[in-house]
Chains A and B, each alone.
Chain A
């Protein structure tokens, strides 16, 4: 694919991902900041519903895991041209420091290796407050199927409003 075609495809996927999102992705209010074959960067604003304390100072680890899983999905979608279906096979997350901040959360992820059946992803999470020290890191493997025509992109395109 040419660079221009690539750019158009990335923009379309990012746009679809935003407009067709449901459920948790919508709740997390994610904003895609970078999306290309090399990886993604996504921003999540602070949300007191995702905290473990009523004062809203500490994010639950599960939210970080969910963010990584979401980012891996988008990264695979961008990196693999003919992906038809995608399922998380396994996911490993290290919580490197307590998630104490009300700053936006930034997640980066990339699909660093793809085979016919499997995609491998790696990602990092930090708070947008200067130091960029990782709060969590994750690795995942995805089972993928490939095929022309009936791609995930087409399915998302044709599914009616609300799924």
Chain B
């Protein structure tokens, strides 16, 4: 799958347009995307940080796209997720990388990491399970 096709698929999803991310890189194991900060992403009205649910949604979105076998495959079904929030999600461009840990015939497990400026200082890490059947 090339990133133009992946982006085109994402652009057909209303909620992905709401998030407003761009896919930057895709290979066998990793998918990388970035999202500019927007007022509608705010969670804490005093600090104007990202809503934890927006960070989670961004990570789930790119994980759900990354797990697809081909660009026209039906959406994967999310089973559950675990997210560790490691640092404050201050306003700014947010990057997320999804990595496939294991993909079987029925299930897939993906790890995600989100960061602001420095990938070695993540804002959050996530673990997502998807049902593929």
Contact = CB atoms under 8 A, between A and B. Distances in A.
Contacts of A61: 60, 78, 81
A91 B14 contact: no
Contacts of A87: 85, 88
Contact of B48 (A22, A63, A88, A98): A22
Interface in A113-163: 152, 155-156, 159, 163
Given A52-B13, A62-B61, A88 B52 contact: yes
B79 A95 contact: yes
Contact of A22 (B14, B45, B81, B85): B45
Contacts of B58: 62
Contacts of A49: 14-15, 17-18
A52 B14 contact: yes
16 contacts: A23-B48, A24-B40, A24-B51, A27-B18, A49-B17, A50-B14, A54-B12, A61-B81, A65-B53, A66-B54, A66-B57, A69-B51, A69-B53, A70-B51, A91-B56, A95-B77
Interface of B: 12-18, 39-43, 45-46, 48, 51-54, 56-58, 60-61, 75, 77-85, 88
B65 to A, nearest CB: 11
Contacts of A21: 45
Contacts of B18: 27, 49-50
A25 B51 CA distance: 9
A93 interface: yes
B14 A23 contact: no
A51 B53 contact: no
Query: How extensive is the interface on chain A, given as a class?
Result: 35 or more
A70 B53 contact: yes
A-B residue pairs, 5 tightest by C-beta = A66-B53, A23-B42, A62-B57, A60-B15, A24-B51
Given A22-B39, A66-B53, A155 B15 contact: no
Interface string A15-34: 00000111111110000000
Nearest to A23: B42
Contacts of A51: 14-15
Interface string A31-66: 000000000000000001111111010001111011
A89 B82 CA distance: 11
Contact of B56 (A20, A25, A65): A65
A89 B14 contact: no
A12 interface: no
A66 B56 CA distance: 7
A20 B45 contact: yes
Nearest to B126: A91
A44 to B, nearest CB: 12
